[in-house]
Amino acid sequence: MDHRTTPVPGYHGRYLRIDLSSQSVVPVPIPRAVYRRFIGGVGLGTWILLQETDGTYDALAADAPLAFVFSPLVGSPLTTSAKFAVLCKSPLTSRLNDSLASSQFALSGKKTGYDGLLIRGQAAEPTCLLIDDDGVRFESADDVWGLSPATTTSMLRNRFGRGYHFAAIGPAGENLIRYATISHDGRHAGRGGSGAVMGVKQLKAIGVAGQRRTSFADPRQLSTYSKSLSRLSMGPATAKYRELGTVTNLLTFNRLGTLPTRNFQDSTFDSATSLVPPMDDALTTRTRASCAACTIGCEHIFHSPGQPDGVRLEYESLFALGSLCGIDDFDTVLQAASMCDEFGMDTISSGSSIAFGMECAERGLLDAPDLRFGNNRALLASLKDIAFRRGLGDLLANGTRDAAKHIGGDAADFAPHVKGLEIPGYEPRALQTMALGFAVNARGADHNRSGAYQIDFSDQVDRMHIDRQAVKLAIDTEDEAAIMDSLILCKFLRGALTDRWASMSDMLKMTTGFVTDAEELTDAAQRIISAKKLFNIRQGWSPAEDTLPKRFLTSSLTSGASQGAVISQDQLQELITEYNRLRQWSPEGWIGDDLVRTWQLLDRE
């Protein structure tokens, strides 16, 4: 075997290219050096997409690549490491989309013997891919087309065996909703519309099973370290997630005046307390769950009279389907979140698109008399209309940027997105380091690829009046996220790691044998983030995209603890220019050929 492709511990040394059109597969070797440069997960997936594509292409073209990528930590006893990344060109943003999801699909997927699955082409009929030790099968999915991800998974496991774990799309993916998810075990690769990329390929589900484990570089030390990490993960740093779940953020954000409300017209919501049931609530009970191989247990599943089977709820779903739409009824939010799960739709973009529609209707830009903030029935009806592209739902199904173009007038000024990706539950005027993170991030407004809100919620900056000193701090959070998303580790572990860079170096060494330090990992982060930018430049990125909608740059907040906060265009641009300088990009954000070579972003001419 060629030394350059001899598997490194923690890896299989190859990915599998699958062509749905020709029903053919090709194993593709991954050079050893690539692993050290891109690690796995989001980093490795970005490298694969750069290798597999060249110029611009339509995100929903039949041959558009869709990558499922694993990481060196998957299969190890390290807590929270059972994760996989999904990468593609987003049909919502037309830029790079990288989503993460957890659980058994990651564990079984890696045991198929590949570090990634790269899917191209388009099936002639609804199809289920099965990948196991015997190879790849292309099975009909006619009988599950139109069904929810959960029902699909249940039926496919009954048909093909309990040993398979499935990632599946729902009706939203089939109907090419631009923010359709890929679902697995009730969790989702949620943002950016990777479910629509599966849908256009007529790929309803992927089932994985296998027995091919990788070795690890130092299994004994890995075992000892993993036990210690698990203990840390159950300590006070993660108590919030374990005891209350992320829904508790809603009351905190409301108090701090950072809670997006009524399509970002306000940053406090008068009825916030009705959206978070107390722990001893008589009508709403909750149970806890966790991802596979996770000791934190952050999932809180709420059971109410209207939702007796329970609905998993996070802050992002609660704000988007609650305060953002002016909804003050918790049971309605639970029902809405359940519908998003059933259809396979991103809750943030779903809620944002409807909230945007509500504001357009209230301003007379849309003829929709029922579409009003606080109208529970309108919220639920709109979700269904979006999933099946009925009436106004067809317009909102393409996201707020596209809808604003069609609606016209000044709608684009208050369409809440960056690069087409709807803004998550962090008011950027009141969290200005996060505002920078939203503006420059490769996949658009995103709080997982940039954790800059951590800086705003600290004593390091004045969150409503940040200056250039905050830029390096924002970059540090982005770098950290790039490595965590490549290893792949849950970000809820952050608080439990005293020296995160040292801890991540240790984990990489024990699994792969790579001896790294903070400097090398920071370089890897810079490389991964530059590689994402290079992908976007190939797809038509321009500096004008790195901004916020006009509302955030001209209208100040009018209530609560963040009253008066606004960030000006000039201020934001100064921050962006400084960001580009520190990233070693041109002042406008372009990447030169010399940097592509220096950082070894490509392995082909």
Q: Is residue 99 part of the contact set for another protein (CB under 8 A)?
A: no
Which C-beta is closer to another protein: that of 518 or that of 561?
561
By rule CB under 8 A, what count of residues binds another protein?
Answer: 35
* Minimum distance, C-beta of residue 38 to another protein, in the bound complex (Å): 26
Name, in order, each residue with C-beta under 8 angstroms of 429's C-beta and a sequence gap of 6 or more.
267, 435, 464, 552, 556, 557, 562, 565, 566, 567
* Minimum distance, C-beta of residue 125 to another protein, in the bound complex (Å): 41
Segments in 185-329 forming alpha helices (H): 194-200, 219-233, 239, 249-256, 315-321
Q: Which stretch binds another protein (CB under 8 A): 366-374, 403-411, 447-455, 527-535?
A: 447-455
Which C-beta is closer to another protein: that of 27 or that of 564?
564
Which C-beta is closer to another protein: that of 222 or that of 464?
464
Measured CA to CA, the distance from residue 554 to residue 389 in angstroms comes to 34
* Minimum distance, C-beta of residue 318 to another protein, in the bound complex (Å): 13
Measured CA to CA, the distance from residue 427 to residue 550 in angstroms comes to 14
Site string for another protein, 15-34 (x = CB under 8 A): --------------------
Q: Are 75 and 84 in contact (CB under 8 A)?
A: no
Single out the residue of 464, 481, 488, 525 in contact with another protein (rule: CB under 8 A).
464
Q: Which stretch binds another protein (CB under 8 A): 141-149, 225-233, 448-456, 500-508?
A: 448-456
Site string for another protein, 287-326 (x = CB under 8 A): ----------------------------x-----------
Q: Which of 72, 77, 71, 83 is nearest to 230 (CA)?
A: 77
Single out the residue of 28, 136, 150, 251 in contact with another protein (rule: CB under 8 A).
251
Q: Which stretch binds another protein (CB under 8 A): 81-89, 93-101, 120-128, 454-462?
A: 454-462
Measured CA to CA, the distance from residue 170 to residue 387 in angstroms comes to 9
Measured CA to CA, the distance from residue 40 to residue 486 in angstroms comes to 5
Contacts by 147-151, CB closer than 8 A, 24 or more apart: 147/171, 148/341, 148/342, 148/343, 148/344, 149/183, 149/184, 149/341, 149/342, 149/344, 150/183, 150/186, 150/341, 150/342
CA distances from 167 to 78, 104, 139, 185 (A): 23, 10, 15, 8
What radius of gyration do the chain's Cα atoms show?
22
Which C-beta is closer to another protein: that of 400 or that of 562?
562
Q: Which stretch binds another protein (CB under 8 A): 343-351, 395-403, 411-419, 560-568?
A: 560-568
Which C-beta is closer to another protein: that of 128 or that of 250?
250
Q: Is residue 454 part of the contact set for another protein (CB under 8 A)?
A: yes
Which C-beta is closer to another protein: that of 115 or that of 480?
480
Which C-beta is closer to another protein: that of 249 or that of 347?
249
Q: Which residues of 12-29 are buried (b: 16+ CB within 10 A; e: fewer)?
A: bbbbbbbebeeeebeeeb
Single out the residue of 4, 255, 405, 581 in contact with another protein (rule: CB under 8 A).
255
Question: Based on the number of CB atoms within 10 Å of its own CB, is 153 exposed (0-12), middle (13-18) or buried (19 or more)?
Answer: buried
Which C-beta is closer to another protein: that of 426 or that of 552?
426
Which C-beta is closer to another protein: that of 558 or that of 573?
558
Single out the residue of 149, 193, 257, 260 in contact with another protein (rule: CB under 8 A).
257
Q: Is residue 447 part of the contact set for another protein (CB under 8 A)?
A: yes
Measured CA to CA, the distance from residue 412 to residue 505 in angstroms comes to 44
Measured CA to CA, the distance from residue 279 to residue 245 in angstroms comes to 11
Q: Is residue 453 part of the contact set for another protein (CB under 8 A)?
A: yes
Angle at alpha carbon of residue 484, lines to 596 and 341, rounded to 5°: 110
Q: Which stretch binds another protein (CB under 8 A): 62-70, 166-174, 255-263, 502-510?
A: 255-263
Single out the residue of 68, 225, 457, 501 in contact with another protein (rule: CB under 8 A).
457
Measured CA to CA, the distance from residue 71 to residue 41 in angstroms comes to 5
Q: Is residue 449 part of the contact set for another protein (CB under 8 A)?
A: no
Single out the residue of 81, 202, 214, 246 in contact with another protein (rule: CB under 8 A).
246
Single out the residue of 125, 281, 462, 519 in contact with another protein (rule: CB under 8 A).
462
Which C-beta is closer to another protein: that of 121 or that of 560?
560
Q: Are 300 and 245 in contact (CB under 8 A)?
A: yes
Binding to another protein, residues 185-244 (CB under 8 A): 236-241, 243-244
Binding to another protein, residues 476-495 (CB under 8 A): 491-492, 494-495
* Minimum distance, C-beta of residue 560 to another protein, in the bound complex (Å): 8
Measured CA to CA, the distance from residue 111 to residue 89 in angstroms comes to 26
Measured CA to CA, the distance from residue 5 to residue 578 in angstroms comes to 39
Q: Are 86 and 99 in contact (CB under 8 A)?
A: yes
Which C-beta is closer to another protein: that of 278 or that of 308?
278
CA distances from 360 to 66, 270, 400, 526, 560 (A): 34, 22, 11, 40, 25
**Coil, strand, or helix at residue 234?**
coil
Which C-beta is closer to another protein: that of 38 or that of 426?
426
**Coil, strand, or helix at residue 154?**
helix
Which C-beta is closer to another protein: that of 492 or that of 501?
492
* Minimum distance, C-beta of residue 109 to another protein, in the bound complex (Å): 26
Which C-beta is closer to another protein: that of 112 or that of 450?
450
Site string for another protein, 400-439 (x = CB under 8 A): --------------------------x-------------
Structure tokens that stand for 68 in this block:
């499922």
> Dihedral sign, CA of 529, 99, 36, 81?
positive
Q: Are 360 and 314 in contact (CB under 8 A)?
A: no
* Minimum distance, C-beta of residue 247 to another protein, in the bound complex (Å): 10
DSSP string, 538-602: HTT--GGGSS--HHHHH----SGGGTT----HHHHHHHHHHHHHHTTS-TTS---HHHHHHTT--
Chain positions contacting another protein, by CB under 8 A: 236-241, 243-244, 246, 248-249, 251-252, 255-257, 279, 315, 426, 447, 451, 453-454, 457-459, 462, 464, 491-492, 494-495, 560-562
